[in-house]
Amino acid sequence: MDAVVRTPSHLAAPLVHRLFRDPVRPPVFSEPVPGLVAWHGRDASATEDDVHRTAADLVHLAAERHAAPTAELAPVVDVLARTLLAIAQVDVTDADAVRLGPQDYARRLRGAVQGADRELSPDAAWFHDALLVSVCLHVLHHLVRRSPYLQRHLAGRAGRIAQLVDLGDAEAAARQPERSQQDAAFEAEYAQWVARRYGWLTIVGVDFPNAPDRWPLEETYLSLEAEERSGGVAGAEDEQRTVLLADRALEDHERVLLRGGAGSGKTTLVQWLAVAAARQGSRVPFVLPVRRFAREGFPAPDDFLHAVRHPLADRAPEGWVVRTLLSGRALLLVDGIDEAPEKARGELRDRLRRLLRVFSGNGCLVTSRPSAVSDGWLSGGGLAEEDFVELSLAPMSRDQVTRFIRDWHSAARLDEQSRSPGARERAALDEYEQRLLHSVRIYRELRQLATNPLMCGLICALNRDRAGSLPSGRKELYDAALEMLLQRRDPERDVLYADDVRLQQSTRERLLQKLAHAMLEEDASELTRERAVGILDAALPAMPAARAQGDGAKIFRHLLHRTGLLRERSGESVDFVHRTFQDYLAAKEIVARGRFPTLVDHAHQSEWEEVIRMAAAHARPEECSQFLERLLAAAPGLRRPQINHRRLMAAACLDHVTELDPAVQRLVHERTKNLVRPTTEPAARGLGWVGPIVLELLPDPGQVPDDRQALLLAITATRVQDDAAIDYLVRLRSRSALPVRTELARGWRHFDTERYAHEIIAHLDQDGLYFPVADTAELAALRELGGRPRIQVAGVMRAEELLAGLSPGQLTHLWLNAELPDTDVSWLSGFPRLRVLRVNPRLPRVRNVPDGVEITA
């Protein structure tokens, strides 16, 4: 007979739940619950007969999975029922029970039942006692899950109970046949569904007249770069910055936390990985958008498909997900941890780490916005096998932007050709493409916006829509996009009578603002259909033009199908096609309602940063002045870092306002000038997001004698990503300290290549300095300067590009710090002076190294 009795939670939990009635009080208990259950009277959670039936179900469930004495099951049922009835008799609160743990709690209940041992044979008594421990485990798990008090105050005990449940589920699943024909057939069907569902890329804003809203992923996917940073001081020899192809990250690392800003391509990468795994059959991908289960908590394996409302959920063989995890063939793609409420992220993380501890060997990618979780957030507390490698998606390089624009227009021409044999529209697309490529190279504002796939796709669509006339600012870009999607989308697609609702752009936009604002206030990334309809019903009485068109349900359908900004999930919930649009519209609604105090209350939270910037851009001058003054005012309830964050947000807003009282501008400068004296590298990097205004607040680098402080100033200024920073950095270019020179050399990817090369790179002392090149534009600029003896390849480039761009007469040291598409480096024989090849140990091993070249790590 087995040493223990394991009962899977998906079978035991519903039976245990019968014994407990949900409390009348709210589920946020401020103290332990003294009376767990009652079997008699008005407040009875179950009757004695109910308890007996539940005991019988538990006994027969366990007997099917263990070598139980079947002839004695009836006496075991009787004894177990009496033992469970003792729950109401022993003087134990829910907190006491959790502290005891399943074995001691079972012992306490068993001690309250007299003479039970004499009624059962030794084998039957053992079976009863082992089953009782299993049942008590599920009882305690039920108590913990319904009580935030226990989760908060007994976190260690609660975590151990959840882990024991996971282990029980894993061991129970291991008893099942390895991979049945039923599993194999379903897995094949599931893989086909994944390839169909995620094999298409939606580029927001790409909505030509009579054109599809999606493109084949294989034709339009852009392989982005991700950076892994480790080691010591920036610029020091022990610092490592490895540039990897993001879609290959899971080939070398089992667990990855990938950070990236809004629109940086995180979700598209998830789609690409899911489709690749499904088609290759190497792993079974489970795409888990956090917004689907943010409030309910990270789902148990058997609930994966139901939690994301997968259409095949009801057809999956029982235990299929668990068996897949046990085989180590699963790929968990947890997308958007930042879309869970901040207070829920810790619990999601703990549940995920427990699951990966139980089901080891499975791949896992977690995506997040950069500031939503701290460094080391998914570390294993010193256990290397539980740690996540942390990567950051790099902004698109100039080469990648060029490729994206060309691929986008190629796809558009193919679509145009499929719909019309005429050449006029295709010729126009050729002209728009060349004009846009020229504009991106020439105009700084456009270059700063085109740094991720979302913005590039939007810029391409607007460039085509506006015949090559593009807005220059972020707010103006979104205004133009909304005009295209909300006002001109249907008429230009010849879709004039899809429904009988006729609304102007301003009305559509205000209604969408209501939905976006509700999501922001409720800290939700989606709304149920009922909630969305309710919001619209509440708004319609104040909007006569919209109210005359129909009720909330009708208006909801119109906005969903005719604006291109909303999408519905399995008919149950709705969200915005991208979080950026949600933030932008929510900011407009807050300004329209005059809810600036709400913005002030949340200004210390990173997830509100974009909303606050855009609210400042929309606010009228007097409103903006008052808003910024509130951000700068005292905040007794906040900690010092939160107060500083609020004040820096005030400085960041200056870059977006059109008109502002000069006295308020001076006040912002006065209150923030002492905040821009960074003392650590993370603080210095964090100042970059404030924008160009920070350059006016930083100290004069010529007055800073200390090289360490000069390095911190260089780190901040190179991350401002405005060409105005070049004028500031010029005053640091004569520094001899290697870390300062390294930071200045590394920073040129954020600026105009030619100007930065001539004003900064050309003046840096070459002694011991590796000059980084991230794309062919930087490679060409460096070659025009005569080349350099030490080059660091800091971007993914092909061998022929490096061979054409590097200077054979100069190169003595080459540092490969980015993936090469081909590890064969025999082409290095074309560089006769090359003596040292430095290869980042995190990259694949190179081969065919020429004789006489020393390889170092």
What are 147-163's pLDDT values in tens digits?
A: 877 877 787 788 888 87
DSSP structural state of residue 487: I
- The whole-number average pLDDT for the span 597-605 is 90
Domain boundary among 159, 175, 191: 175
Domain region containing 499: 488-586
- Is pLDDT at 212 greater than 50 in this prediction? no
pLDDT score recorded for residue 619: 94
> For the chain, how are helix, strand and coil distributed in percent, rounded to 5?
55, 10, 35
Percent of the chain with pLDDT over 70: 87
Domain boundary among 551, 586, 621: 586
Tokens of 213: 């809203």
856 compared with 202, residue with greater pLDDT: 856
Asked whether residue 611 is assigned to any structural domain, the reply reads no
Q: Looking at 473-610, which runs of residues are DSSP E strands?
A: 527-528, 566-569, 573-576
Asked whether residue 733 is assigned to any structural domain, the reply reads no
Cβ–Cβ under 8 Å, residues 216 and 198: no
- Is pLDDT at 208 greater than 60 in this prediction? no
- Is pLDDT at 209 greater than 50 in this prediction? no
Task: Identify the top-confidence range among 103-117, 415-429, 453-467, 503-517.
Answer: 503-517
Question: Same domain for 81 and 167?
Answer: yes
Question: Same domain for 851 and 800?
Answer: yes
- Helix (H) or strand (E) run with residue 324 in it: helix 320-326
Asked whether residue 410 is assigned to any structural domain, the reply reads yes
pLDDT score recorded for residue 556: 92
Cβ–Cβ under 8 Å, residues 628 and 622: no
* pLDDT, tens digit (0-9, with 9 covering 90-100), for 459-471: 887 888 777 777 7
Cβ neighbors of 467 (< 8 A, separation 6 or more) are: 428, 432
- Is pLDDT at 725 greater than 70 in this prediction? yes
* Mean of pLDDT over the chain: 82
Nearest alpha carbon to residue 86 among 124, 139, 126: 139
Q: Tell me the sheet residues that pair with 368.
A: 259
Residue 180 identity: S
Q: How far apart are CA 823 and CA 829, in angstroms?
A: 14
Question: Same domain for 138 and 231?
Answer: no
Question: Same domain for 61 and 79?
Answer: yes
Name the pTM for this structure: 0.63
Question: Same domain for 282 and 390?
Answer: yes
Cβ neighbors of 190 (< 8 A, separation 6 or more) are: 278, 284, 312, 316
Tokens of 425: 């529209």
Neighbours of 403 (CB within 10 A): 15
pLDDT score recorded for residue 757: 94
How sure is the predictor about 383, in pLDDT bands with cuts at 50, 70 and 90?
very low
Asked whether residue 194 is assigned to any structural domain, the reply reads yes
- Is pLDDT at 488 greater than 70 in this prediction? no
- The whole-number average pLDDT for the span 177-195 is 85
- Is pLDDT at 332 greater than 80 in this prediction? yes
Mean pLDDT lowest for which of 385-394, 426-435, 479-488, 549-558?
Answer: 479-488
Query: What region, left, alpha or beta, does residue 571 occupy, with left being phi > 0 and alpha being psi -120 to 50 degrees?
Result: left
- Is pLDDT at 575 greater than 90 in this prediction? no
Q: CA 241 → CA 233, 364, 365, 665, distances in Å?
A: 12, 22, 20, 38
pLDDT score recorded for residue 284: 95
DSSP for 379-440? --TT-GGGPPEEEEEPPPPHHHHHHHHHHHHHHHHHHHHHH---SHHHHHHHHHHHHHHHHH
Q: CA 565 → CA 207, 396, 540, 558, distances in Å?
A: 11, 24, 20, 11
Question: Residue 508: which CATH number?
Answer: 1.10.10
pLDDT score recorded for residue 691: 73
* pLDDT, tens digit (0-9, with 9 covering 90-100), for 405-430: 888 888 777 767 766 655 666 678 88
Q: Looking at 158-208, which runs of residues are DSSP E strands?
A: 200-201
Say how many CA atoms lie within 13 Å of 798 toward its Cβ.
Answer: 4
Cβ neighbors of 609 (< 8 A, separation 6 or more) are: 371, 649, 652, 689
Question: Same domain for 45 and 194?
Answer: no
Question: Same domain for 428 and 453?
Answer: yes
pLDDT score recorded for residue 219: 65
Q: Return the exposure string of 773-796: e unless at least 16 CB atoms fall within 10 Å of the residue's CB, then b.
A: bbbbbbbbbbbeeebbbbbbbbbb
pLDDT score recorded for residue 43: 66
Asked whether residue 819 is assigned to any structural domain, the reply reads yes
pLDDT score recorded for residue 233: 43
- The whole-number average pLDDT for the span 684-695 is 78
pLDDT score recorded for residue 783: 93
Sign of CA dihedral 784, 785, 787, 790: negative
Q: How far apart are CA 666 and CA 693, in angstroms?
A: 12
DSSP for 618-674? HS-HHHHHHHHHHHHS--TTS-HHHHHHHHHHHHHHTTT-S---HHHHHHHHHHHGG
Question: Same domain for 87 and 216?
Answer: no
Question: What is the domain count for the chain?
Answer: 5
pLDDT score recorded for residue 235: 41
Question: Same domain for 27 and 158?
Answer: yes
- Helix (H) or strand (E) run with residue 856 in it: strand 854-856
Percent of the chain with pLDDT over 90: 28
* pLDDT, tens digit (0-9, with 9 covering 90-100), for 339-359: 887 778 888 888 888 888 778
What are the start-end ranges of the H helices in 654-771?
A: 662-672, 681-686, 693-697, 707-718, 724-729, 738-746, 753-759
Question: Same domain for 430 and 579?
Answer: no
* pLDDT, tens digit (0-9, with 9 covering 90-100), for 268-300: 889 889 998 998 887 999 999 988 888 778 888
User: Phi then psi for 846, rounded to 5 degrees?
Assistant: -80, 160
How sure is the predictor about 601, in pLDDT bands with cuts at 50, 70 and 90?
very high
Neighbours of 621 (CB within 10 A): 13
* pLDDT, tens digit (0-9, with 9 covering 90-100), for 759-771: 999 999 999 999 9
Question: Same domain for 33 and 119?
Answer: yes
pLDDT score recorded for residue 242: 83
Asked whether residue 681 is assigned to any structural domain, the reply reads no
- Cβ-in-10-Å burial (0-12, 13-18, 19+) of 347 comes to middle
Cβ–Cβ under 8 Å, residues 820 and 799: yes
Q: How far apart are CA 110 and CA 100, in angstroms?
A: 14
Domain boundary among 369, 394, 419: 394
Asked whether residue 381 is assigned to any structural domain, the reply reads yes
- Is pLDDT at 29 greater than 50 in this prediction? no
- The whole-number average pLDDT for the span 522-539 is 91
* pLDDT, tens digit (0-9, with 9 covering 90-100), for 64-88: 766 666 667 888 888 999 899 888 8
Question: Same domain for 512 and 390?
Answer: no
Asked whether residue 129 is assigned to any structural domain, the reply reads yes
How sure is the predictor about 166, in pLDDT bands with cuts at 50, 70 and 90?
confident
Question: Residue 203: which CATH number?
Answer: 3.40.50.300
pLDDT score recorded for residue 27: 41
